[in-house]
Every structure is written in structure tokens, then in C-alpha cells.
Amino acid sequence: MDRTFVMVKPDGVQRGLVGGIVSRFEAKGLKLVAARFEKLPETRVMDQYKEHLQKPFFPSLKQYIMGGPVFLMVWEGRSAVTVARTLIGATNPQEAMPGTIRGDYGLDIGRNVIHGSDSLESAAREIAIHFKADEVCTYTRTDASVLYEY
């Protein structure tokens, strides 16, 4: 099984969307293996968004992401990155399909509610930024046998 990193951003937290978002991932069959609610420290924001540090939008992104609490999660399942990205929808909410999280809740690319890893490599890097190995749980869902063909 694969793991992916997902973060409900400050606008999603402020709008009270955390529970509904978690429910979508659970209903899809992904397994929540780590979660934390917090305001991100600058060091982890810099690590999270290191590919954007020199881009003109980074200062406003940093201010936004540090401006309120976020909800950090690690989800596990077969093709977890792809499944999560499909649930999340296009980065620009105006291009996101109805039924996706961004398609249903987002209006602006700068306030798009949620982040999800875009590859297995990114997922591993982002999980390591935000969670220690012993903070990620290993367990078997009781419904695993009806979720997957083995």
C-alpha cells in the first residue's frame, strides 16, 4: 500500500471543512494513519514549499499558510497519491470538476482549501517533513477485505 500527504489549508479550516474532507477520504476507502492540527512553523513551511522559494508568489503563500491552523494527514491505500489527487481536483478551483474537493469548495487558486502530494516521492518527502516515523500508525482496517481484490 502507498501513503500520501494531505493538508487542509487555513481557508479550509476556517470554513469548517475538515470533517467533510476527512469523510470523503474515508468513504473512498483510504486509511487515515496520521493526523495533526496545528499552526505550521516557518522552518517546515520553507521545507514544504522549497520549490517555490524564489517565485514571486512565495511571500504571500508563506503568509497565508502560516496565518492560521492547518490539518495535516497521512492517508494509506492502493495508489493513494492518485486516488487523493482525484478526490482533491485541479489546483485551480475554477478548473476543478464538480464533485472534487476544490470543485465543490474552492473559488480562488490562492485559497484552494487543500494540498495533496503529487507523486510518491513528494509524499515521502512531505510526510517526513511533518511527521516522525513513530507518529504514523500501522493497523488493518476491518473492511480491507471488501475494499481490495487480493
3-state SS of 72-86? EEEEEECCHHHHHHH
**Contact present, 78 and 141 (Cβ < 8 Å):** no
91 pLDDT exceeds 90?
Answer: yes
- Could you tell me the end-to-end alpha-carbon distance of the chain, in angstroms, rounded to an integer? 12
CA distance 150 to 135: 28
Task: Categorize the per-residue pLDDT at 132 as very low, low, confident or very high, splitting at 50, 70 and 90.
Answer: very high
Does 148 or 71 have the greater pLDDT score? 71
pLDDT digits (tens, 9 = 90+) for 93-128: 999 999 999 999 999 998 999 999 999 999 999 999
Task: Categorize the per-residue pLDDT at 150 as very low, low, confident or very high, splitting at 50, 70 and 90.
Answer: confident
Catalytic positions, please? 115
36 pLDDT exceeds 90?
Answer: yes
149 pLDDT exceeds 90?
Answer: no
* SS3 state at 126: helix
Q: Helices 80-88 and 18-28: crossing angle, nearest 10°?
A: 130
3-state SS of 87-102? HHCCCCCCCCCCCCHH
pLDDT score for 141 = 92
pLDDT digits (tens, 9 = 90+) for 77-90: 999 999 999 999 99
Q: Report the side by side order of strands in the sheet with 70-77.
A: 31-38, 70-77, 2-8, 114-116
CA distance 130 to 47: 10
For the chain, domains (ranges, CATH) are: 2-140 (3.30.70.141)
